[in-house]
Amino acid sequence: METFDVIIVGARCAGAPLAKALTDRGLRVCVLDKATFPSDTPSTSALQSNGVDVLRRLGMLDRVLAAGPPVMRSVTTVSPHSTFTLDVDPQTYGMTLGVTRTMLDAALVESAAHVGADVRVGSAVKGVIVEAGRVVGVRTASGDLYAGLVVGADGRNSTVAASVGASEYCSRAAGRLPTWSIYEGADIEAGFFFGARSRPGGGTTGFLGTPLDGGRFLAAAAVPIDVGQSFLKDRYRNFDIELELFPELAEATRDATRVGPLRVLQRWHSYFRTSAGPGWVLVGDAGNFKDYSLGQGMSDAMRQAETLAAAVELGFETNRIDAHTRRWWRWRDQDAWQMYWTNCLIGEPYLPEALADAIFEPGARDPEVALRLAGILNKTIPPLRAVPTGAFLTATARTTGALIAGSAQHPRHALRQARALASMARFTAGLVVNHPSGPVGATRYGRSPRSAPSVTATTLP
Ligand SMILES: Cc1cc2nc3c(=O)[nH]c(=O)nc-3n(C[C@H](O)[C@H](O)[C@H](O)COP(=O)(O)OP(=O)(O)OC[C@H]3O[C@@H](n4cnc5c(N)ncnc54)[C@H](O)[C@@H]3O)c2cc1C
């Protein structure tokens, strides 16, 4: 019987740093991934500086930097009626990188293997093994493996989450359809772009552009999800049409050659999942996936891996592993909820443009405000502190005014915007009430922690 201290399912942004951190702490770790490396995975590839900082602290950064990923020095942010470019000095703002996932994930896996984690790639986990109501291991095609803790770092379609029946909470439907292309020969000096522009048919398209390692460049365009199917009928042509709404991006890729197909992610939604129970814990996308608009998923997975490693070490030392993974889950929720909400807000394509303008225009006028907004991206400022109450009140007043004026001129657009606002308001209220960090949720969590589901399945069908 093969036994480890910890088995980690999934070896990318969450799994590999966790494997490295736990191995460095002297634990016997086995990390399994059904993929082999190098290999790609859906991502628009901007790695925020707080994730880079984790890699530095864990001793994994040098291997990534050896591939020469570009360091962002400017961020151009666009809302429907304003644009501002911010110079981000890596010395003071931190190092934001453009990384292909083929390069990054392989470097992370190599780092974990280098320090002695037992890395098994091309090895799919079929489900967890449960004894007396506790997860004690995993089933793989080449046999059963046992451990004191099983970690699901296996992404959105997590096998571990499904095996233990982890339920979702505070979820939100997809706002836009992400599509992206990688180019060779693009203007990689053009810098890093993100934002949204108004579409002729109503709503906004989200954009992102980032230079990558290997002299490549990634451009992404995300149309509202309800026009996604018609977009996909002629996806290459429509992608180029959407890029023209964002001339800076269209210009950067104009004479470039697309490498590989246009990538699309059709089925996704934002969620939290119950993330700890007897003998198991979920980290990274397996436990929380947020709209990708602000490019936070990789750095969140890395930060979570770092803090989870500390919780696991303490859990084994004190013989209270379940208590510590449960406490870590609460930290994860508190850490995540503001950014989760912000991503859902930015990812909603039918909110009145006046709302985005009211938030972003002050940034275009005042470099101090712009820097605060950029602080949201690298997590130095919580979103609700970066945008002052006055700006929210102005945004509300301008949004209401715009809706009233718009209802006479474009009643259909105004109705759709009003619906989007109402849906966002309902979602926000649900987040405040049901989330452990919300005022009501915090009390509820304190009195009676959300119970982990009982584990019945031993393997997935
Ligand atoms: C369209 C899009 C754009 C994005 N853009 C950005 C961005 O610009 N910046 C950013 O920071 N984040 C971005 N993200 C988010 C980011 O890609 C994820 O948050 C990040 O990859 C999460 O890492 P993870 O390790 O938790 O999961 P994943 O990267 O999903 O890795 C999970 C691993 O588990 C393995 N696995 C799954 N099931 C099994 C099994 N049964 N057995 C064995 N192995 C298994 C998979 O093979 C995979 O390798 C984006 C996401 C999307 C969808």
Decide whether any atom of ligand 1 lies within 6 Å of the 14 Cβ. yes
Q: In what order do the strands lie in the sheet with 168-173?
A: 168-173, 269-273, 288-289
- Tell me the CA–centroid distance for residue 423 and ligand 1, in Å: 27
Domains, the chain, in order of start with CATH, read: 2-70+98-172+269-341+445-453 (3.50.50.60), 175-264 (3.30.9.100), 349-434 (no CATH)
Select from 34, 53, 54, 210 the residue to mutate for testing ligand 1; criterion: most ligand atoms less than 8 Å from CB: 34
Distance, CA of 221 to CA of 249 (rounded, Å): 10
Select from 292, 300, 339, 343 the residue to mutate for testing ligand 1; criterion: most ligand atoms less than 8 Å from CB: 292
Lowest-confidence segment of 37-41, 57-61, 194-198, 235-239 by average pLDDT: 194-198
Does 444 have pLDDT greater than 50? no
Distance, CA of 251 to CA of 254 (rounded, Å): 5
Select from 32, 33, 43, 218 the residue to mutate for testing ligand 1; criterion: most ligand atoms less than 8 Å from CB: 43
Decide whether any atom of ligand 1 lies within 6 Å of the 210 Cβ. no
Distance, CA of 399 to CA of 420 (rounded, Å): 12
Helix (H, G, I), strand (E, B) or coil at 451: coil
User: What pLDDT is stored for residue 408 in this prediction?
Assistant: 62
User: What pLDDT is stored for residue 74 in this prediction?
Assistant: 87
Distance, CA of 148 to CA of 160 (rounded, Å): 15
- Tell me the CA–centroid distance for residue 13 and ligand 1, in Å: 7
Residue bearing the CA closest to ligand 1, atom 2 = 43
Q: How many other β-carbons are positioned within 10 Å of the β-carbon of residue 234?
A: 10
Q: pLDDT digits over 135-180, tens only?
A: 999 999 999 999 999 999 999 999 999 999 999 999 999 999 999 9
- Tell me the CA–centroid distance for residue 285 and ligand 1, in Å: 6
> Residue for token digits 């994860």?
332
Decide whether any atom of ligand 1 lies within 6 Å of the 291 Cβ. no
Decide whether any atom of ligand 1 lies within 6 Å of the 152 Cβ. no
Decide whether any atom of ligand 1 lies within 6 Å of the 295 Cβ. yes
User: Strand ranges (DSSP E) for 225-305?
Assistant: 257-264, 269-273, 276-277, 280-282, 288-289
Decide whether any atom of ligand 1 lies within 6 Å of the 296 Cβ. yes
Decide whether any atom of ligand 1 lies within 6 Å of the 46 Cβ. yes
Decide whether any atom of ligand 1 lies within 6 Å of the 154 Cβ. yes
Confidence of residue 461 (pLDDT cuts 50, 70, 90): very low
Decide whether any atom of ligand 1 lies within 6 Å of the 38 Cβ. no
Distance, CA of 166 to CA of 453 (rounded, Å): 7
Contact 348, 294 (CB under 8 A): no
Nearest ligand 1 atom, CA 265: 1
Distance, CA of 253 to CA of 196 (rounded, Å): 18
Quick one: tokens of 338?
């503001």
Q: pLDDT digits over 17-67, tens only?
A: 999 999 999 999 999 999 999 999 999 999 999 999 999 999 999 999 999
Quick one: tokens of 7?
């088995």
Element (H, E) at 344: helix 321-346
- Identity of residue 6: V
Q: pLDDT digits over 243-300, tens only?
A: 999 988 999 999 999 999 999 999 999 999 999 999 999 999 999 999 999 999 999 9
Residue bearing the CA closest to ligand 1, atom 21 = 298
Distance, CA of 270 to CA of 168 (rounded, Å): 10
Does 356 have pLDDT greater than 90? no
Q: pLDDT digits over 85-114, tens only?
A: 888 889 988 999 999 999 999 999 999 999
Average pLDDT of span 12-21? 98
Phi-psi region at 185: left, alpha or beta (left = phi > 0; alpha = psi -120 to 50): left
Beta-carbon contacts of residue 150 (< 8 Å; ≥ 6 apart) = 6, 7, 9, 128, 135, 136, 137, 138, 160, 279, 280, 281
- Tell me the CA–centroid distance for residue 298 and ligand 1, in Å: 8
Decide whether any atom of ligand 1 lies within 6 Å of the 45 Cβ. yes
**One-character DSSP codes across 3-50:** EEEEEEE--STTHHHHHHHHHHTT--EEEEESS-SS---S---EE-HH
- Tell me the CA–centroid distance for residue 409 and ligand 1, in Å: 43
Quick one: tokens of 98?
């453009």
Total residue length of the chain: 461
Contact 109, 387 (CB under 8 A): no
